[in-house]
């Protein structure tokens, strides 16, 4: 099937079936969460052991458990009338995984991109929740991009002491009222609707905002850029800090913090900074990490390229993605030009 015909076929299905697709990927994520909780409850060992290294990231044993759960779920539950290609951390680019099994990629209708555990390092040490991220786009072959995503869902993978876990999902074009958000009681299984509300703040003063600097590489340079950004916007604080910093080691977690009003701005400039400094590092954001940006956009926030404009990246497992997320358009308009000037000055 040509890309044009595949897109047309998806549009025809979408009008009646997008809600079904949203429910399906939410059910997938519920399943993976249940598997991980059960494994942890059995006192599984070696979850933090290294199982392999790919071009995208280091793969730990806990990742392999989630990957097996995902493949099994697709085998058992994905509609055979909706042939799909699966793009996932842990599957190397160029390796075709399709359902029904054996379907040629050019005969699939959808491309499903997902991160089984975004924030593995948090979860395997029981330090902070991780997130499972999933998005669905019409199949356009190698040209399928982040901008093609029409359905997205993200589910919190809880630490052992959590009693509740959240799930957010959205369909493109439905706006804030169409964002589905639930909090699940992990002891009883009961679900309650919640309403995600990105911050309406007009500036970042006395709130959480940050640039990503998870790892030693590029940390000092990133901090320099961030300090310059806040000084240009709000001046030097001198005494009590004006901007609070939180390095949540997961892109999905960062999106959730923006979505729920905890953070006001987050920028991940690692691909730009590493290239400038000459670092050859795979430890950057990839398309599967940022595939649920649709949810924040539908909720009224903004996720965009560092200089403004839409994110441009293929749905693969290796493309480096730099992005900035804002809780609302007012913050984007205030911060974007200042950040753009700073990047132009330092990243030539």
Domain ranges of the chain: 3-193, 207-346
Q: Can you name the CATH fold of 3-193?
A: Fructose-1,6-Bisphosphatase; Chain A, domain 1 (3.30.540)
Stretch among 32-41, 138-147, 244-253 having the lowest mean pLDDT: 32-41
What does pLDDT average to over the chain?
A: 90
- The pair phi, psi for residue 127, each rounded to 5°, is -95, -40
Q: Does position 283 have pLDDT exceeding 90, yes or no?
A: no
Q: CB within 8 A of 150, min separation 6: which ones?
A: 10, 14, 18, 136, 137, 138, 171, 172, 294
Residue 44: the pLDDT is 47
Q: Does position 223 have pLDDT exceeding 70, yes or no?
A: yes
Cα-trace Rg, the chain: 20
Q: Does position 1 have pLDDT exceeding 50, yes or no?
A: no
Please name the CATH architecture into which domain 207-346 falls: 3-Layer(aba) Sandwich (3.40)
Q: Does position 269 have pLDDT exceeding 90, yes or no?
A: yes
Q: Output the CA torsion sign for 48, 50, 52, 56.
A: positive
Residue 11: the pLDDT is 55
Record the pTM.
Answer: 0.91
Q: Does position 58 have pLDDT exceeding 60, yes or no?
A: no
Stretch among 2-6, 55-59, 219-223, 251-255 having the lowest mean pLDDT: 2-6
β-pair type (164-171, 58-60): unpaired
Q: CB within 8 A of 291, min separation 6: which ones?
A: 113, 114, 115, 133, 134, 135, 146, 149, 152, 315
Confidence of residue 130 (pLDDT cuts 50, 70, 90): very high
Q: CB within 8 A of 128, min separation 6: which ones?
A: 119, 122, 159, 248, 249, 253
């Amino acid at each position: 099937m040509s890309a044009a015909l595949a897109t047309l076929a998806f549009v025809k299905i979408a009008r009646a079936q997008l809600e079904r697709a949203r429910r399906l990927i939410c059910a997938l994520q519920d399943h993976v969460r249940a598997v991980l909780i059960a494994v942890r409850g059995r006192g599984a060992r070696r979850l933090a052991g290294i199982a392999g290294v790919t071009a995208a990231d280091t793969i730990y044993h806990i990742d392999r458990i989630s990957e097996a759960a995902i493949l099994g779920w697709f085998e058992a539950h994905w509609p055979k009338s909706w042939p799909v290609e699966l793009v996932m951390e842990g599957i190397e680019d160029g390796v075709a995984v399709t359902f029904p099994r054996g379907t040629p990629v050019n005969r699939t209708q959808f491309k499903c991109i997902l991160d089984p555990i975004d924030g593995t390092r948090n979860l395997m040490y029981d330090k902070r929740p991780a997130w499972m991220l999933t998005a669905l786009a019409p199949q356009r072959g190698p040209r399928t991009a982040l901008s093609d995503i029409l359905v997205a869902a993200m589910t919190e993978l809880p630490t052992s002491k959590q009693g509740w876990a959240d799930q957010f999902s959205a369909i493109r074009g439905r706006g804030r009222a169409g964002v589905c958000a639930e909090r699940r009681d992990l002891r009883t299984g009961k679900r309650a609707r919640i309403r995600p509300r990105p911050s309406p703040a007009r500036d970042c003063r006395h709130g959480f905002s940050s640039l990503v600097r998870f790892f030693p590489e590029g940390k000092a340079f990133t901090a320099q850029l961030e300090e310059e950004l806040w000084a240009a916007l709000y001046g030097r604080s001198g005494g009590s800090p004006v901007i609070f910093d939180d390095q949540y080691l997961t892109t999905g977690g960062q999106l959730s913090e923006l979505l729920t009003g905890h953070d006001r701005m987050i920028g991940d400039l690692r691909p730009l900074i590493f290239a400038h400094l000459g670092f050859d590092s795979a430890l950057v954001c990839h398309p599967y990490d940022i595939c649920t940006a649709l949810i924040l956009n539908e909720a009224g926030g903004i996720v965009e390229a560092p200089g403004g404009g839409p994110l441009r990246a293929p749905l693969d497992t290796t493309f480096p993605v730099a992005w900035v997320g804002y809780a609302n358009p007012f913050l984007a308009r205030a911060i974007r030009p200042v950040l753009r000037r700073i990047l132009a000055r330092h990243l030539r």
